Amino acid sequence: MTPITGFAPDADVTTPGLVTDCTNLIPYLNGMEGAPSAVTPASTPALAAACQGAAVVTKLDDTRRIIAGTQTKLYELSGGVWSDQSRASAYTGGTDSRWSICQFGDATLAANRADVIQRSSGTTFSDIVGAPKAEIIFSVGAFVMALNVNDGQEKPDGWACCAAFDDTSWTPSIATQATSGRLVSTAGRLTAGARLGEYAVAYKQRSIYLGRYVGAPAVWDWLQVPGGEAGCIGKEALCDIGSAHFFVGDDNIWLFDGTRPVSVADGSVREWFFAKSDPSYRYKTICTYDRQTSRVWIFYCSSGSSSIDSALVYHVLTKKWGRAALSIQAALNFTSASATIDGLTGYSATMDGLPSASFDSQFWLSGGRALSIVSSSNQLQTLTGASASSGFTTGSIGDDQAVSVMTRARVRCATQPTSAAGESLAGMEAGSTFSSTSTGSITGGRFDCLQAARWHRVAFNFTGPVRVTHYDIDVTPAGLR
């Protein structure tokens, strides 16, 4: 049988093992599996308003805070309650403002470009006096870096850093090393930024700058990265996968390890993604890295939608792709408290009501991290539930010149689904639309069918959790009269 090579709609459709289309099927180390469903953690209420950014941050003693922002408030999840930790006056961000949240030592900082950078050392947030307004903030070395700033003047291409080891001091000084500058070698505003090892990386839509700490008086030295017009489309369209940044650009999907950006989508999903995502709202794209499974999730607005409703999923180790349908407002790596037998009643009064996360899931572990979302109904949920339904369509098998007969299709599952069905698809010309000829259940990994055509495909559909590793289609030359 042929190993599954992943979702690759841009590739040659006759490539062995190719998946031309899939639904809620994502890659794992040995094949593809049904995408997890969303589970609401016990005693976690919905936010009071739409979430416009969320993060899990870690303090110096390894305790964690879960922070979420709305248009006018900042909240912290503690003890099953979203506590309002906002400053006294409401924030002035717009409906499209997004919070950028980072941790610096024991201080949690948040920025939304409309208000001065906010700081909380464990309780309520407050203005950092003298700090700029900023679109993006992140910690790097002894500093907090702010990008796309307003320090009394609009500087969309500007950056600023706090004093060394002091996030409360932003007044420029050679003695403290608080300073600022502008990145003007290329056009446009700064759209994203993050730490990469000891470096600070600032992105525009079509360019990248690498910042290196050099000490006073310059403090930071910025170098434009060669590599054409690679850049980042939005402040959340970027995630750190440990050794590199993964990000979505204006016309490609990239990895950047500090040397030069490299495409990870050419020949597989690049053309498909930019055709299926809405160009007017592509800046809303959210990338997040699920370290437990080595998968990057790209949440985006599908064509014609102004809300995030779809996800493209990349497996870092195997370089395979998959996709899922999911409506979200924000994404984060939720950190759960431990679960005990005595504490199971906190989840449900009955066994049937317990979360559908598997018993070896990180969901149940103290400090276990699980990829999580804030749903379109403002509800924090972990992606730890069992897959409900999924499916995929094979590549094309056949010949331009000769008619052949398909009699059987087989699929090998490492985890058997609750039920499975197959659909045979026929096409007489390369590139033509395929039509359905028959459907039926799959038993023993086999779908029996009978169709004559030049080109053949099979659509497999699964109910319940499934892991698929191989497929095969039996085709023989058609007889002559």
pLDDT at 183 (0 to 100): 98
pLDDT band at 341 (very low <50, low <70, confident <90, very high): very low
d(CA 113, CA 234): 14
Q: Determine the straight-line distance between the first and last CA of the chain, rounded to whole angstroms.
A: 32
Do the Cβ atoms of 69 and 52 come closer than 8 Å?
Answer: yes
pLDDT at 432 (0 to 100): 82
Which option is the CATH number for 2-21+389-477: 2.60.40, 3.40.1130, 3.30.70, 2.60.120? Answer: 2.60.120
Tokens 């195997």 found at: 318
Per-residue pLDDT reduced to its tens digit, 315-327: 999 999 999 999 9
Average pLDDT over residues 461-466: 97
Task: Return mean pLDDT, the chain.
Answer: 92
pLDDT at 366 > cutoff 50: no
pLDDT at 349 (0 to 100): 53
Share of the chain above pLDDT 90, in %: 87
Q: What is the dihedral of CA 6, 10, 11, 13, to 10 degrees?
A: 90
Per-residue pLDDT reduced to its tens digit, 92-150: 999 999 999 999 999 999 999 999 999 999 899 999 999 999 999 999 999 999 999 99
pLDDT at 85 > cutoff 70: yes
d(CA 355, CA 363): 9
pLDDT at 480 (0 to 100): 55
pLDDT at 348 > cutoff 80: no
